[in-house]
């Protein structure tokens, strides 16, 4: 004989309901475990896109990195002489000639430094030459044996009153080639002012010897 199953009574669950509940719990657990598995992270081996560079190129123009040009002419490699001169009302214009006596090409740029001085120890008399900007400044390249020149203007001391000028006879011109610190002394007996009166002006160095041979 078969056992008689209890019929579900009021307020008391039956066996069928319990089995159904267990099946639903099992199914729910299976579904939950399959849906709760974490998503696979993005592979870290994929290279990130490189940002575009905003740093300017460090390459330098060939014109800048090229072979440097000739060096400035040193005093020791120059022969400094007085070239042609001409007189005008109350002043004299004197050419200063720079000849490259070295075996290498060199350059002159700018103004020579010029002053009148006494006999040794070569004490400066009055003011040094002021720069005359009427002649443009250019780089002058001197091959061995080539010359450049600068025009010096010397105002006659007699143009000034004795008290203002204190006229004094000089013995030498002291000449510094452009951008050099070693001077050359050339005999010159010009009369100048011992007082701070501007009697000398000099122009920038130009190519050529100013008419000398």
- The residues pairing with 80 across neighbouring beta strands, listed in sequence order, are 98
Most confident option among 14-18, 29-33, 158-162, 177-181: 177-181
Q: Is the peptide bond before 16 cis (omega within 30 degrees of 0)?
A: no
pLDDT in tens, 141-194: 999 999 999 999 999 999 999 999 999 999 999 999 999 999 999 999 999 999
Q: For the chain, what is the radius of gyration of the CA atoms?
A: 49
Name the least confident of 11-15, 79-83, 99-103, 207-211: 11-15
pLDDT band at 67 (very low <50, low <70, confident <90, very high): low
User: Which pLDDT does position 42 carry in this prediction?
Assistant: 45
Buried b (16+ CB within 10 A) or exposed e, 2-11: eeeeeeeeee
Instruction: Quickly count: other Cβ atoms within 10 Å of residue 131's Cβ.
Output: 16
pLDDT in tens, 68-92: 789 999 999 999 999 999 988 899 9
Rounded to two decimals, what is the model's pTM?
Answer: 0.67
**Distances, alpha carbon 48 to alpha carbons 45, 53, 100, in Å:** 9, 15, 65
d(CA 205, CA 34): 95
Mean pLDDT calculated for residue range 180-209: 97
Helix, coil or strand: residue 138: coil
Domains of the chain as residue ranges with CATH: 71-207 (2.60.40)
39, pLDDT greater than 90: no
List the structure tokens of 204: 């920038």
User: Which pLDDT does position 69 carry in this prediction?
Assistant: 87
User: Which pLDDT does position 210 carry in this prediction?
Assistant: 85
């Amino acid at each position: 004989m078969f056992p008689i199953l209890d019929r579900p009574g009021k307020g008391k669950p039956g066996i069928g309901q319990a089995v159904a509940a267990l099946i639903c719990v099992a199914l729910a657990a299976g579904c939950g475990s399959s849906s709760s598995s974490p998503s696979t992270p993005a592979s870290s081996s994929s290279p990130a896109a490189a940002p575009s560079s905003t740093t300017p190129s460090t390459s330098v123009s060939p014109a800048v990195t090229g072979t440097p040009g000739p060096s400035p002419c040193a005093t020791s490699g120059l022969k400094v002489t007085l070239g042609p001169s001409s007189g005008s009302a109350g002043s004299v214009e004197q050419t200063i000639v720079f000849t490259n006596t070295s075996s290498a090409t060199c350059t002159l740029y700018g103004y020579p430094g010029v002053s009148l001085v006494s006999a040794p120890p070569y004490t400066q008399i009055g003011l040094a030459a002021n720069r005359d900007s009427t002649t443009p400044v250019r780089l002058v390249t001197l091959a061995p044996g080539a010359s450049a020149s600068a025009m010096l203007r010397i105002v006659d001391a007699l143009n000034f009153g004795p008290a203002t000028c204190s006229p004094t006879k000089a013995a030498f011109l002291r000449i510094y080639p452009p951008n050099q610190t070693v001077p050359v002394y050339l005999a010159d007996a010009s009369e100048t002012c011992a007082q701070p009166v501007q009697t000398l002006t000099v122009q920038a160095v130009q190519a050529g010897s100013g008419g000398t041979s």
